[in-house]
Amino acid sequence: MINLTILGCHSATPRVNAFPTSQYLEINNKHFLIDCGEGTQRQMRKYKVGFSKIDHIFISHLHGDHFYGLVGLLSTYGILSREKEMHIFGPKGIKNATLQILKISESHAKFNMIFHELSSKKSELIYEDDKVSVRTIPLTHRVYTNGYLFTEKEKPRKLNMLNISGYPEIDKADYLNIKAGRDVTLATGEVVSNSALIIDPPKPLSFAFCSDTSYKPDIVPIIKEVDLLYHEATFLQDRQDLAKKTKHATSIEAAKIAKEANVGQLIIGHYSGRYSDISLFKKEASQVFENVFLATPGAVFSIK
């Protein structure tokens, strides 16, 4: 299962009703924070995101609208007397920047912070446990930037007990072999195919986060057929010149990536403040890719 809560989805400076990038992801019962712009912890409170559930934070790049809320959040964890360690993934330099401010401000954050600094320009596996794996998605922006691909681990195969019951000769002693993929040979010599005795698990679900970035088609093989894609769309096509200059993407370009990667759903966000009507982003992107949704603060996207 995937539940994605949009905490903030606008670019540049925070405004009264517009918060910079941050997302809370629940996938296969694991909980992650992706980016941490100013106001993130306020949004976490507003949308009832459990502070204690988060043990891993992923920062895409070191522009303020994506990580200036991190120090404040870590400081709050200290005030709340957090004891669990926190893993923080982000570009090289994030450790020094974060710890220096916490030190100078004499923060109460005494829990162990483990920084995983990234510098590779190739996609790499950076996190894995028995439920989820996380790979980087190298992006192109004005500073070193990564997106992140979160993928469920494949669930165990299940016994097809209805079919198994049709063969009295098969008993519990055979179950482990069946789960391991073996056929069953009956006393008569008949071979019962493993496929008739097992139920394959559903395809593992996946979510890709791609922000900030210019149009970058070479990420398509990395995010091929993900169930849910968040891709920045800072500008409409009328300002493609500005998108190219600032190394951002347009709504049309985000839709092209979604179409080429054959993703299930596309969420666009990181809107420039020059646009008062964000519905125009969906209208434009839908010309290229049909299943488009707009990121808005508090929106929840779920896939089961």
Contact residues for 56 (Cβ-Cβ < 8 A; gap 6+): 30, 31, 32, 33, 86, 87, 88, 89, 127
Mean pLDDT of the chain: 96
Which residue intervals of the chain are DSSP H helices? 40-46, 64-67, 70-79, 94-104, 161-164, 175-179, 220-223, 240-246, 251-261, 279-285
The secondary structure of 92-135, three-state, reads CCHHHHHHHHHHHCCCCCCCCEEEEEECCCCCCEEEECCCEEEE
Task: Identify the pLDDT of residue 127.
Answer: 98
The CA distance from 168 to 73, in Å, is: 59
Q: Which residues sit opposite 20 in a β-bridge? A: 10
SS3 169: coil
Torsion, CA 92, CA 52, CA 47, CA 4, rounded to 10:
60
Q: Is the pLDDT of residue 34 over 90?
A: yes
For residue range 223-278, what is the model confidence (pLDDT) as tens digits? 999 999 999 999 999 999 999 999 999 999 999 999 999 999 999 999 999 999 99
User: In CATH, which of 1.10.730.10, 1.20.1250.20, 3.40.50.620, 3.60.15.10 is domain 2-155+201-303?
Assistant: 3.60.15.10
Residue 212 is a catalytic residue? no
> What is the value of pTM for the model shown?
0.92
Task: Identify the pLDDT of residue 155.
Answer: 87
Q: Is the pLDDT of residue 156 over 90?
A: no
Task: Identify the pLDDT of residue 247.
Answer: 98
- Give the number of residues written for the chain: 304
Q: What percent of the chain has pLDDT over 90?
A: 88
For residue range 12-22, what is the model confidence (pLDDT) as tens digits? 877 888 899 99
The CA distance from 206 to 185, in Å, is: 38
Sign of CA dihedral 47, 49, 51, 56: negative
Query: Catalytic one among 35, 65, 212, 227?
Result: 65
**Among 69, 68, 81, which residue's Cα sits nearest to residue 108?**
81
Name the segment(s) of the chain with CATH classification 3.60.15.10. 2-155+201-303
Which H or E element spans position 141? none
Higher pLDDT among residues 40 and 108, named by residue: 40
Q: Could you say which DSSP state residue 237 is in?
A: G
**Among 76, 241, 207, 44, which residue's Cα sits nearest to residue 132?**
207
| Least confident window among 36-50, 179-193, 235-249, 256-270 | 179-193
The CA distance from 212 to 131, in Å, is: 27
The CA distance from 64 to 246, in Å, is: 15
